C-alpha cells in the first residue's frame, strides 16, 4: 500500500467569488472552505482570496490590513476613465480579501449586478498585482474557480507574461458548473458578439468586456482544467452536456480531469448535529425514528414511523430535473403510501407546482418554499429517502450528505451522482441508492417504486442505511487527488510534460 507523503513546501492559492464562512451563496463557497482546510490538514500551505463584501462581519472576523493603496490597472483608454482602481488587501488567518469600496464594500450581495464582469476582472487583476508586490508569500499554484475567476489564467498568460515574479506560477481552472459562462446567455450569442478567446481582454469600462466568454478563456489559458466529478469531466466533452464548449474541451482533453467534491465530516455529522432531536451514528441508526416523527410533526404530516417519507432538499430550477414530476407525482401519491417533504426555493413554476401539490394532498405533501439552513438537517436525519432527479449534476452534495445521515438517494445517473450513488438490485448485498438512467418521468417513477418496495422489508432497508452511512466522502481523499493534479500542473508549466 502506497503511503501518501505530503510536500509541505507546496503553496496553493484558491481564487473565487465566495468562501464560507465569510460569504456563501452556494456549493462553491462550501468547497472554498473545506478543500483548503483538508489540504492544510495534509501539511500544505493552502490559502484563499475573495472580495471583501459589505456582508462580511468585521466584528466577528478581525481583518488585518496587509497592503494599503494597491493600484490595480484598468487598461482604460478614454478621458475621465480612471487608469487604476485603488484597493486594499486584508487578511484573516489563511484568507485574503480584496477590498474596493465601489465594487465590493458597497454591495450587499455577492452576485446580481450589471457590472459583475468588471468586479470579477478586478478580482483577477487585483490578485496578480498583489502577488507581484507582496514579498512574504508566493503560490506555486493558483486555482481559479468558475467563470468569475476565469480571467486570471488569461491575464497571467498575456498581460502579465513578462512579470518575472509571476512567471513560475502554474494555473488550474476549476469548473463547478459549465452552464454559467459569463454575463450573457451563451445559447443565444450573435456572430458579431462571439468571443473566440484570443483577443486581448478590453478595459474595465469597455462594453465589449460584458460580452466575453470568461469560461472559454479559463479553459483556453489554464495549464490544467478540472471539474468536480470524474463523470462530469467526461460528459462536458459531449454535445449534450458541453454547453457549446465541448469542442474546446475535447481539444484540451489531455489536461482535463475530474475530482469528486467531498463533504466536511466535522459539520455534516448526525452524531453531533445540534439541529436533530436525536443524534445517532451507523451503529445506532434506529434512533432516526425520533427524527422522522419530529419531521412529520414539523411539517404537519401524520406522525407514523412506518410511513415511507421522501425528502427533497434542493434549489428549484431546471437543472435539478423536477419537470419529471409534473406528469407523475399525483399518480405516485395515489398509488403509494408515502409522504413527501420539500425544502427549497427557486423558479416560480417549480415553487407553484409543489405549493399546489401540497394543497391538493395536505396529509401527504408538505413544502417549505424558501431558503432555510436548519430544515435540511431534519430532512436528512428523518426522511427515509431523498429524491435527486437532476438533468445534469457536476458534483452534488445533497446525495453525499443524505447518505451520511442514512437517507437513501433516488437519483439519476449523471455527473457526480453517477460517481457517488451505487444502484441496488434485488438480492444485492451492495448498493447505496436507486439509480435511473433516462431523463424521463417513467424512469423516475420506476426508481421510486423500487425504493418503496424495498422499504417494506425492514431488514433490507436497515442494511441499506448502514451501507450508505459507511461510505467515505470526506475531503481527505479528494485533497490527495488535488495534490496529484497540482503537481501535474507544475510539470506542465515547467515544460516537463506536454499540456
Closest-CA residue to 229 (of 33, 11, 425, 400): 400
Residues in contact with 78: Cβ distance below 8 Å, sequence separation at least 6, in sequence order: 205
In 3-state terms the chain splits into helix, strand, coil percentages (rounded to 5) of 40, 20, 45
d(CA 19, CA 23): 5
Check the CA dihedral 21-23-26-27 and report its sign: negative
| Residue 66 grid cell | 496587509
- Count Cβ atoms within 10 A of the Cβ of residue 339 and give its class: 0-12 exposed, 13-18 middle, 19 or more buried: buried
Helix (H) or strand (E) holding 279: none
d(CA 394, CA 230): 9
| 216-to-151, 198, 252, 394, 481 alpha-carbon distances in Å | 10, 10, 12, 17, 25
Q: Is 297 annotated as a binding residue?
A: no
The answer to whether 415 and 229 have CB atoms below 8 angstroms apart is yes
d(CA 306, CA 338): 10
d(CA 374, CA 371): 9
Binding site: which residues? 24
Binding site for ADP-alpha-D-glucose: which residues? 24
Amino acid at each position: 500500500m502506497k503511503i501518501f507523503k505530503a510536500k509541505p513546501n507546496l503553496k496553493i492559492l484558491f481564487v473565487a467569488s465566495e468562501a464560507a464562512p465569510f460569504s456563501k451563496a452556494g456549493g462553491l463557497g462550501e468547497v472554498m472552505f473545506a478543500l483548503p482546510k483538508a489540504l492544510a490538514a495534509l501539511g500544505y500551505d493552502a490559502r484563499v482570496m475573495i472580495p471583501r463584501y459589505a456582508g462580511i462581519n468585521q466584528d466577528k472576523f478581525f481583518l488585518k490590513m496587509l497592503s494599503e493603496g494597491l493600484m490595480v490597472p484598468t487598461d482604460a483608454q478614454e478621458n475621465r476613465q480612471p487608469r487604476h482602481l485603488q484597493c486594499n488587501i486584508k487578511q484573516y488567518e489563511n484568507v485574503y480579501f480584496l477590498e474596493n469600496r465601489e465594487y465590493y464594500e458597497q454591495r450587499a450581495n455577492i452576485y446580481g449586478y450589471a457590472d459583475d464582469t468588471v468586479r470579477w476582472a478586478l478580482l483577477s487583476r487585483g490578485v496578480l498585482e498583489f502577488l507581484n508586490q507582496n514579498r512574504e508569500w508566493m503560490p506555486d499554484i493558483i486555482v481559479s474557480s468558475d467563470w468569475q475567476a476565469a480571467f486570471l489564467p488569461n491575464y497571467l498568460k498575456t498581460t502579465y507574461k513578462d512579470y518575472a515574479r509571476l512567471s513560475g506560477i502554474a494555473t488550474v481552472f476549476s469548473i463547478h458548473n459549465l452552464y454559467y459562462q459569463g454575463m450573457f446567455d451563451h445559447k443565444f450569442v450573435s456572430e458579431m458578439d462571439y468571443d473566440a478567446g484570443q483577443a486581448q481582454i478590453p478595459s474595465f469600462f469597455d462594453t465589449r468586456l460584458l460580452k466575453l466568454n470568461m469560461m472559454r478563456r479559463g479553459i483556453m489559458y489554464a495549464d490544467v482544467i478540472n471539474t468536480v466529478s470524474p463523470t462530469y469531466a467526461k460528459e462536458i466533452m459531449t454535445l449534450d452536456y458541453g454547453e457549446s464548449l465541448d469542442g474546446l474541451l475535447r481539444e484540451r482533453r489531455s489536461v482535463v480531469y475530474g475530482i469528486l467534491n467531498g463533504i466536511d465530516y466535522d459539520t455534516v455529522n448526525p452524531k453531533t448535529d445540534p439541529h436533530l432531536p436525536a443524534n445517532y451514528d451507523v451503529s445506532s441508526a434506529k434512533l432516526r425514528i425520533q427524527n422522522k416523527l419530529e419531521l412529520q410533526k414539523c411539517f404537519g404530516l401524520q406522525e407514523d414511523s412506518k410511513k415511507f417519507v421522501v425528502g427533497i432538499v434542493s434549489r428549484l430550477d431546471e437543472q435539478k430535473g423536477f419537470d419529471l414530476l409534473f406528469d407523475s407525482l399525483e399518480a405516485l401519491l395515489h398509488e403509494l403510501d408515502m409522504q413527501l417533504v420539500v425544502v427549497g426555493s427557486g423558479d416560480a413554476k417549480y415553487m407553484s407546482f409543489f405549493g399546489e401539490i401540497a394543497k391538493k394532498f395536505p396529509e401527504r405533501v408538505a413544502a417549505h418554499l424558501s431558503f432555510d439552513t436548519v430544515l435540511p438537517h431534519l430532512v436528512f436525519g428523518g426522511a427515509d429517502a431523498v429524491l435527486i432527479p437532476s438533468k445534469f449534476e457536476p458534483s452534488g452534495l445533497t446525495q453525499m450528505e443524505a447518505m451520511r445521515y442514512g437517507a437513501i438517494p433516488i437519483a439519476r445517473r449523471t455527473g457526480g451522482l453517477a460517481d457517488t450513488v451505487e444502484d441496488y438490485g434485488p438480492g444485492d448485498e451492495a448498493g447505496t441508492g436507486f439509480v435511473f438512467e433516462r431523463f424521463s418521468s417513467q424512469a423516475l417513477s420506476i426508481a421510486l417504486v423500487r425504493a418503496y418496495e424495498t422499504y417494506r422489508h425492514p431488514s433490507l432497508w436497515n442494511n441499506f442505511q448502514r451501507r450508505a452511512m459507511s461510505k467515505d466522502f470526506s475531503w481527505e481523499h479528494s485533497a490527495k487527488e488535488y495534490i496529484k493534479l497540482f503537481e501535474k500542473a507544475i510539470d506542465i508549466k515547467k515544460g516537463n510534460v506536454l499540456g
